[in-house]
Amino acid sequence: MTKDMHSNCDALLQSLSEYIDGSLSDEMCQEIRKHLETCGDCRVVFNTTRRTIDLVRMPPKEPESLPEDVRERLIKRLDLEGLLPARES
Ligand SMILES: [Zn+2]
């Protein structure tokens, strides 16, 4: 059971950026939502990731408050580079 939970979490975390992106099928989204409802660990990761991705993607309302290099450093610090689609250097 613990093993199942873990592989479930693994699978979820791997699809997390796609889920946030909205590029998963309805079925997959439903599974992920169900898992998030029951798994506090993944929920924390999900919330953190979504907030960070939102922050990075949205143009800042006041450009001075979040300059480009700060955003880049934030991504690097949170190690989210791999989660952002199509930005391989
Ligand atoms: Zn989980």
Q: What is the chain's pLDDT, residue by residue, as a tens digit (89 residues)?
A: 444 545 689 989 899 989 988 999 999 999 999 999 999 999 999 999 988 888 887 776 665 666 778 778 887 888 776 676 665 55
Residue 1, pLDDT score: 45
pLDDT at 6: 56
CA of 6 to the centre of ligand 1 (A): 7
* Rounded Cα gap, residues 74 and 8, in angstroms: 28
pLDDT at 66: 66
Q: How far is CA 42 from the centre of its chain?
A: 10
Residues with CB under 5 A from ligand 1 (ion): 9, 39, 42
